[in-house]
Structure 1
Amino acid sequence: MATLLIGYDLNKQKNYPDLYDAIKGLDSAWWHHLDSTWLVVTGHTAKQARDILVKHLDGDDELLVIDVTDRDRAWGGFNDKGSGWLNSSYE
């Protein structure tokens, strides 16, 4: 099992209920104390979770999924500068 940190920015259209249901569907053990941050204990990898959740986002939304157990990470919607920083921070 992995513990995934999930963060997002929903920009124009905000469809929180569908995204919340998808996050909760990753497993039954989850934490959601901060507005756009979740921790989920799951059998999914960060990339698998990203692929599940990105279906509930609009094209201008941003999503970050990081496995905080072993540094496995995946994200979507970030520009090159943001992606570059995330990649370099784990080197």
Structure 2
Amino acid sequence: MSEKHCYIVSYDLCQPNRNYQDLYAALKSFPVWGRLTESTWAIVTDKTHAEIRDFLMKYIDNNDRLIVILSGKSAAWTKVLAPNEWVKNNLVL
């Protein structure tokens, strides 16, 4: 079994009045996920950053922005949307 890592996914959907539901469903399809801010999520998976990017590109337009970052060794936060306990347990793996 491959090692799992936490990735930070951030996006900007540039067109007004976008339907975010398909992108949200794609992010929620990962085994472990948490929404950190309106446009930033954390996911835990054995996929690579490029595999995650390529998968999510199916749910955004060509002019939208997307970045997938391997989570680091430490983090500080305030008022994120995910429960603090979830962030403590998953953000830094």
Deviation at 1:24, TM superposition (A): 1.1
Distance apart, 1:15 and its partner CA: 2.5
1:54 aligns with 2:57: yes
In 1, the alpha carbon distance for the partners of 2:40 and 2:71 equals: 13
* 8 Å Cα contact 1:6/1:38 also seen in 2: yes
Pairwise mapping of residues 24-35 of structure 1 onto structure 2 (< 5 A)? Answer: 24-27=28-31, 29-35=32-38
Question: Scaled by the length of structure 2, what TM-score is found?
Answer: 0.68
1:74 paired residue number = none
The structure with more radius of gyration: 2
Residues 31 and 38, structure 1, Cα contact 8 Å, conserved in 2: yes
Out of 28, 38, 41, the residue aligned to residue 38 of structure 1 is 41
What is the aligned partner in structure 1 of residue 24 from structure 2?
A: 20
**Displacement over 3 Å in runs of 4+:** none
What CA deviation, in whole Å up to 9, does each residue of 1:14-54 have, x standing for no partner? 12100011111122x11103000000111111110001001
Which stretches in structure 2 are left out of the alignment for 5+ residues? 74-93
Whose strand fraction is larger, Structure 1's or Structure 2's? 1
- Amino acid corresponding to residue 36 of structure 1 in structure 2: S
Greater relative CO (CA pairs within 8 A, separation 6+): 2
Identity %: 38
Counterpart amino acid of 2:38?
D
In structure 1, stretches of 5+ residues that fail to align are 71-91
**TM-score, normalising length: structure 1:** 0.70
Q: 1:6 aligns with which of 9, 12, 30?
A: 9
